[in-house]
Structure 1
Amino acid sequence: MNELPVGRRVAQWRVRRNMTQQQFADRLGRSKSWVDKIERGVRRLERVSSLREVADALRIDLGLLLADQPSRPDPAAAGVEGVRTALSRYHVEPSTGPVDVAELRARLGHAEQSYRHARYPQLLALLPGLLDAARAARAARPDRSTAALLVSGYGLTALALVKVDQGELAWLAADRGMALALATGAPQVAAAATVPLAQVLRHGDRRRPAMETAVVAVHRLRSARSGAAADPSLLGTLLLQAALAAAGRGLDRDARQLLDRAAEIAGDVGAGDGGFGRAAVEAARVVAETALGDVTAATVRHERLTAGGEWRRLPTEHRAAYLLDVARAYVLAGDLRRAGRVLLEAERTARSEVHDRPAVRDLVAVVARSADAPTDLARLAAALYVT
């Protein structure tokens, strides 16, 4: 029955309740023809309020009417346990053969692509082996190249764990990465480790240290005497992290100044190639304005940003996560219809960003309770078990 269209489910539940179409129509205050069209799929239930009305008349939970399956295991749970086990291993045997840095870098690149495309269960499954390999390489050849790879592995692990709401475990991974990065004495490596650390701190509502650590990394990167120019994308990303942390603390002036500095760098970078660029700065302005309480400005800026093509160059993960922040802005603005549409767009952009993040469920539940929510949002709410 769970594989049937909604109309057929309505019909089967009506039969289970021993009601004729006319009796069911009378209970709903509708015509028999209306019920017949719904059950045959000729007419769709377009509003959440109508779906709930039908579910109430059938004396069933909305989830039974819409859920794709009666139960669903958490696809990220096994991956989280694997990562936890990997982080719990303190003794790592060095590689017995020569260290293949290129192969390890390729594995890390594959894992990074999984993150950029928001494939979190798959990424979490990859991370334990990647961490073990990077640590073994580091033990066999303790130089800056293997240290940088392990730092990246820890940072990627922290970012993935934040997505699945494993804040304390994410903090452990980010802290290990930062400690190793600082030990290398390379400002570029330390700055790269600061980005996931700042995100972990923000996730844990530690916005002041998030802001401070990002600003310090910017200063160190700019004052480094390595002879090489600081990576503008890394500088800009750190400034965005600092700005979002400042906005979360209600520091309007600091947030806007940091965003303006990031915008200056983005002007030189251009559209960006999937990381930092003008679209990333504008998206951060939307999130910051929402945090600062200016939701009208945030939603107007969002609509202007998405009307252009540049924002499509952001990574899939970035776009989907940003859309969730925009949905929150619309909720704060009282526009639950648009909030629902944006949530569905986020799901279309990256399914895992919506289905595998526990923090999203409360947001979906709030929007799904509105009579103005799109019908498909009820389907999403049922799939997430928040009906």
Structure 2
Amino acid sequence: MPNEATPDPYAHPLVFGQRMQILRTRRGMSRPVLAGLLGRSPSWVKQVENGVLNTPSLSMILRIAEVLRVRDLVELTGDPATSAELFTGPGHRLLPAVREAVDAFPVRYEREPVSATCLRQRLDRAWAARHSAANHRAAVGALLPDLIRDAQCGTRAAETSAERRAMQAILSEVYSLAQFFVAYQPDPALLWRVAERGMVAAQESEDPHAIGVAAWLTVQAHRDAGHFDAAETVNAETLRYLEPMLPDASTEVRAVTGALRFEAGYTAARRGEAGTAWGWWDRARRLAEALPPGYYHPVTSFSTAVMSAHAVTVAVELRAGPESVRQSARADGDLIPSRPRRARHRIEEARAHHLDGRADVALATLAKAHATAPETIAYNGYARRIVLEETESRSPERRRRAGELAVQLGVLAV
């Protein structure tokens, strides 16, 4: 609930600058940090917030919304006519069924318990379906309700402590798969229920890999909500737990540790801390290069191919246009075996080109992302922001291409 110190940005009398200041302070972001991420001076931010400068252009409003993770532009502008969801995609048709399975959480089960071996095989097939399907939410959403119910039932039916811990690890990973499905959909409370249950099940399992995966997703949930300090705390505590195990750890544990190292760098990049961000990226890269050739972690996608893609993301988050394009040229997205992850990389490449003033290339790259995995780009706020911005381009051809993409993404009606 908003209080007197942080008034509701939907309150009618508030103007753009006041809304921007409220949203910035709620994110715990200083003026110099916001200015750096926007490529402006702290005095410019102050003048906008104080109303000395007029409301910025649409392109700058969209960039401010991106940096502040504004879910709907109306939060920033106060004008219902500008309502456009950025970091929340459309509600998937299978969301109600998945929500029902998560929310049921029954005390008694009438289902026949399924063995851990059988559940493990089904879960592996579900991950494979996610990585291979263009519409991966549809593929995963169809499998999740029964997986959730059977994993819950199997955990309750376990007869020994060892069996229960093994089932808790599987249950935690089922929740991890569910988090991929519910992320960026219009039910943030459901996302947090899934994330927290996944972490609790992982802790109960006492399995380092399960704990690492659950923490990795919890870090992302905190960061996407603007809770950078919480993201860093979870990240640091999990790394302190996992890193002493590395000399004798399995490939999976080393991979999830590497993924967490990168997340530390990603959070630092979102804060505008270049040295820290690249330092963590390099530490993660060294772990990736020590993995078996061709290894690809099924949950985090951690691998040498994804580390190259991550370099693009770090540069983009640091607003380093030429460097982000240089990193994009070095990364080979075709080496990423997962369709949704490959599409996400194309979106990061598009962000790099757009940041460097190459809007035509950015739109062409977003079209490639859509062809690879439509359900990835439809739920991606960065892609939606670029497309919305380019629908106002002075170039008729660019407006046309952006308009076509906007319709495909559901940003604009036909």
Candidates 281, 284, 288, aligned match of 1:262: 284
Q: Does 1:89 align with 2:104?
A: yes
Q: 1:292 to 1:220 in 2, by over 3 A?
A: same
Residue 204 of structure 1 corresponds to: 225
- Taking a change above 3 Å as real, the CA distance of residues 330 and 192 of structure 1, as seen in their structure-2 partners, is same
Give 1:356 deviation, angstroms.
Answer: 5.0
Residue 121 of structure 1: which of 138, 143, 154 is its match? Answer: 138
SS of residue in 2 equivalent to 1:88: helix
Which residue of 2 is the match for residue 135 of structure 1? 152
Deviation at 1:195, TM superposition (A): 1.7
> Offset of 1:373 from its aligned partner?
2.5
Q: Which residue of 2 aligns with 1:235?
A: 257
Percent identity between the aligned chains?
Answer: 24
SS at match of 2:93: helix
The Cα shift of 1:294 comes to 0.9
Say whether the 8 Å CA contact 2:366–2:383 is kept in structure 1: no
Question: 2:340: which partner in 1?
Answer: 317
Of 353, 366, 381, which residue of structure 2 is paired with 1:330? 353
Task: Say yes or no: does 1:303 pair with 2:329.
Answer: yes
1:234-253 pair list within 5 angstroms: 234-253=256-275
| Maintained 8 Å contact 1:244/1:288 | yes
Report the Cα offset of residue 137 of structure 1. Answer: 0.7
2: CA distance, partners of 1:354 / 1:229: 33
1:324 shift after superposition: 1.5
Residue pair 2:347, 2:365 contacting (<8 A) in 1 also:
yes
Tell me which amino acid in the other structure corresponds to 2:169: A
Residue aligned with 1:190, SS:
helix
| Range with greater deviation from structure 2 (205-214 or 149-158) | 205-214
Does residue 179 of the first structure (1) align with residue 200 of the second (2)?
Answer: yes
What residue in structure 1 maps to residue 386 of structure 2? 363
Q: Structure 1 residues 96 and 294 mapped into 2: Cα distance closer, same or farther (>3 Å)?
A: closer
Question: Aligned with 1:373: secondary structure?
Answer: helix
Letter in 2 for 1:106: Q
CA distance in 2, matches of 1:225, 1:321: 29
- For residue 288 of structure 1, the aligned residue among 284, 293, 314 is 314
- 2:369 aligned with 1:381: no
Q: CA offsets, 1:63-104, max 9 Å, x none?
A: xxxxxxxxxxx9853321222222221324346645322221
2:121 corresponds, among 106, 114, 125, to 106
Q: Is the 8 A contact 2:351 2:382 kept in 1?
A: no
Q: What secondary structure does 2:331 align onto?
A: helix
Is the alpha carbon distance of 1:253 and 1:165 closer, same or farther for their aligned partners in structure 2, counting shifts above 3 Å?
A: farther
Deviations 1:157-179 (A, max 9, x none): 11221143543321210111111
Would you say the 8 A contact 2:315–2:323 is kept in 1?
Answer: yes
Alignment match, 2:39:
none
2:179–2:191 Cα contact (<8 Å) kept: yes
Which whole-Å CA distance do the structure 2 matches of 1:246 and 1:262 have between them?
Answer: 14
Q: CA RMSD in A?
A: 2.6
Aligned-pair CA distance for 1:220 = 0.8
Report the secondary structure of 2:104's partner residue: coil
C-alpha distance in structure 1 between counterparts of 2:141 and 2:276, whole Å:
36
CA contact (8 A) 1:340 1:377 kept: yes
Which amino acid counterpart does residue 103 of structure 1 have in structure 2?
Answer: C
Counterpart CA distance in 2 for 1:186 and 1:382 is 45
Q: In structure 2, do the counterparts of structure 1 residues 107 and 154 end up closer, same or farther at CA, with 3 Å as the change threshold?
A: same
Give the whole-Å Cα distance in 1 for the aligned partners of 2:209 and 2:167.
14
1:347-378 deviation line (CA, Å, top 9, x unaligned): 11112212355764333222333325285543
Deviation at 1:138, TM superposition (A): 0.6
How far residue 132 of structure 1 moved from its aligned partner, in angstroms, is: 0.8
Is the Cα contact below 8 Å between 1:211 and 1:243 reproduced in 2?
Answer: no
Mapped to 2, the partners of 1:100 and 1:85 lie a distance apart of 23
Q: Distance in 2 between matches of 1:229 and 1:312?
A: 24
Contact 1:364/1:381, CA 8 A, preserved across alignment: yes
Residue pair 1:290, 1:329 contacting (<8 A) in 2 also:
yes
Structure 2: how far apart are the matches of 1:318 and 1:122?
15
Paired amino acid for 1:302: S
Q: Per the alignment, do residues 358 and 168 of structure 1 end up closer, same or farther by CA in structure 2, a change over 3 Å counting?
A: farther
Contact 1:339-1:367 at 8 Å conserved across structures: no
Confirm or deny that 1:272 pairs with 2:289: no
Distance 1:320 1:226 in 2: 34
Higher relative contact order (CA 8 A, sep 6+): 1
One-letter amino acid of the structure 1 residue matched with residue 150 of structure 2: A
Query: Which is worse superposed, 88-97 or 78-87?
Result: 88-97
Is structure 2 residue 148 aligned with structure 1 residue 156? no
Q: Is the 8 A contact 1:94 1:136 kept in 2?
A: yes
For the pair shown, the structure with the greater C-alpha radius of gyration is: 1
Indicate conservation of the 8 Å contact 1:323/1:345, yes or no. Answer: yes
Aligned pair in 2 of structure 1 residues 288, 227: CA closer, same or farther (>3 Å)? Answer: closer
**How much has 1:291 moved relative to structure 2?**
0.9
Change (3 A) 1:166 1:240: farther
Aligned to 1:221: 242
